[in-house]
Copies of this chain bind each other. A is one copy, B any other.
Amino acid sequence: MSSQLLDIGEIGLIKHLTANESYTPDILVGVGDDAAVIKPSADKLLLMTTDMLVENVHFTISTITPYQLGWKSMAVNMSDIAAMGGVARWAVIGIGMPANTPLSFAESLYAGIQDICQKYNTQLVGGDTVSCDRVVINITLTGEVEPENVVKRTGAQVGDLIVVTNTIGDSAAGLAAINKRADTEREGDSRQSAVGSQQEREGTRLAATKHGLDTHAAQIVIKKHLEPIPRLAESRQIVQLLSPTAMIDISDGLSIDLCRLAEASLVGARIYEDKIPISDEVSGVAGELGRNRLEFALSGGEDYELLFTISPQKVMAIDSTGVPLSVIGEITPFETGRVMVTTERVEKTLIPRGYEHFSVV
């Protein structure tokens, strides 16, 4: 029988997972003492963010591999650090898992965390692993940023341009493609009875290849949903070359996150439907599923792209960032509200719809 968490206990698990961890000189004490001991950089500000992901609320074991789950848990926190203009540095993780979870599940989860940490020079310096009837992952990530580079949500000025990175709606289209698969299977077989079972926990890296909507476009957006890329590198380019006045990451949906930025800055916003960057893959999946591609972009969420505002004087510097950026609108006075101009040139009030943690479950 393969090893389970209860065979080795908490102490054994943390030691096991971090046995080969090597630390950079800024970490004086890593995993294994009462707290990590870190030497922060001189003259930098410290950033701190936390996110909790709960099985069957934020993810299901049957549709994400443990490797992807580890990756994504860290990516969502890195995205928050990127949204402040910072560099990701040190993380701690709290994990709750059933005691009969196979050790291989924890190892794959950790591998996903380790890979994304390595990619972005971030180090896991501590953790707490506890027994829980469902998987709960809470990562707290710190970052650093020069005082002059901090970007809050509050600085958008009337006349500023509204800009987003890459394309929007991919993650939501990916989720829809995954859910289509679940629907297909509910019709076709009894697989749903195994959701969250040990067999599925052992499924590790295979799950993402088994989706029902299996077009090339679907595969691309599903990967974007399950393995999002935090825009840390892009953020540094944007901060250094465009001096953004306000920034937020699109975690809950373009409409709701734009409204948050506008609310924090006490301004209005006008965006243009035909300027919103939507990928061919999103259009393709929307077509296949009979869904509205604009809905994916406006209220889908989990894109982890950056949404920010810049002075119009910076518009000529956009290309120099080397980041795919789209100007989608402009900041208006507060009284104007938040609106979207449709392709038919009709102005509509922007409804802040997206993922709200207590209202959708």
Give A residues with C-beta under 8 Å from B.
5-6, 8-11, 13, 28-29, 32-40, 42, 45-54, 57-58, 79-81, 83-84, 86, 90, 92-96, 99, 125-134, 136, 138, 140, 142-143, 145, 150, 152-154, 247-249, 260, 264, 356-359, 361
A150 near B37 (CB under 8 angstroms)? yes
Taking A133-B134, A357-B10, A358-B9 as contacts, is the C-beta distance between A128 and B37 under 8 angstroms? no
Additional A-B contacts beyond A28-B150, A52-B128, A53-B130 (11; CB < 8 A): A9-B356, A34-B248, A35-B86, A48-B90, A49-B92, A50-B92, A50-B93, A50-B138, A54-B130, A92-B140, A129-B358
Flag if B90 contacts A132 (CB, 8 Å): no
Return A155 CB to nearest CB of chain B, in Å: 11
**Copy number in this complex?**
2
Q: Inside 8 A of A134's CB, which chain B residues have their CB?
A: 132-133
Contacts of A39 in B (CB 8 A): 45-46
Contacting residues, chain B, for A358 (C-beta < 8 A):
5-6, 8-10, 13, 99, 129, 131
A35–B132 touching, CB < 8 Å: no
A42 to B320, CA, bound (A): 36
Contacting residues, chain B, for A86 (C-beta < 8 A): 35
**By CB atoms of chain B within 10 A, which of A35, A131, A248 has the most?**
A35
Residues of B within 8 A of A150 (CB): 28-29, 37
Q: How far is the CB of A74 from chain B (nearest CB, A)?
A: 14
Residues of B within 8 A of A356 (CB): 9-11
Rounded to whole angstroms, the CA-CA distance of A264 and B15 in the bound complex is 13
CB pair B36 A47 closer than 8 Å? yes
Cβ of A133: which chain B residues have Cβ within 8 Å of it?
A: 134
CB pair B92–A29 under 8 Å, yes or no, is no
A154 to B51, CA, bound (A): 32
Taking a contact as CB atoms under 8 Å apart, the answer to whether B152 and A50 are in contact is no
Chain B residue at smallest Cβ distance from A256: B11
The verdict on A136 contacting B52 (CB below 8 Å), with A10-B357, A29-B152, A357-B9 known, is: yes
A24 CB → nearest B CB, Å: 14
CA distance A245 to B36 in the complex (A): 17
A50 touches B128 (CB 8 A): yes
| Distance between Cα atoms of A32 and B260 in the complex (Å) | 10
Are B128 and A48 in contact, CB atoms less than 8 angstroms apart?
no
Is B128's CB under 8 angstroms from A359's CB? no
**Are A95 and B52 in touch, CB under 8 angstroms?**
yes
> Which chain B positions have C-beta within 8 A of A357?
9-10, 129-131
Nearest-CB distance from A30 to chain B (Å)?
10
Measured CB to CB, the closest approach of chain B to A308, in angstroms, equals 11
CA distance A131 to B134 in the complex (A): 13
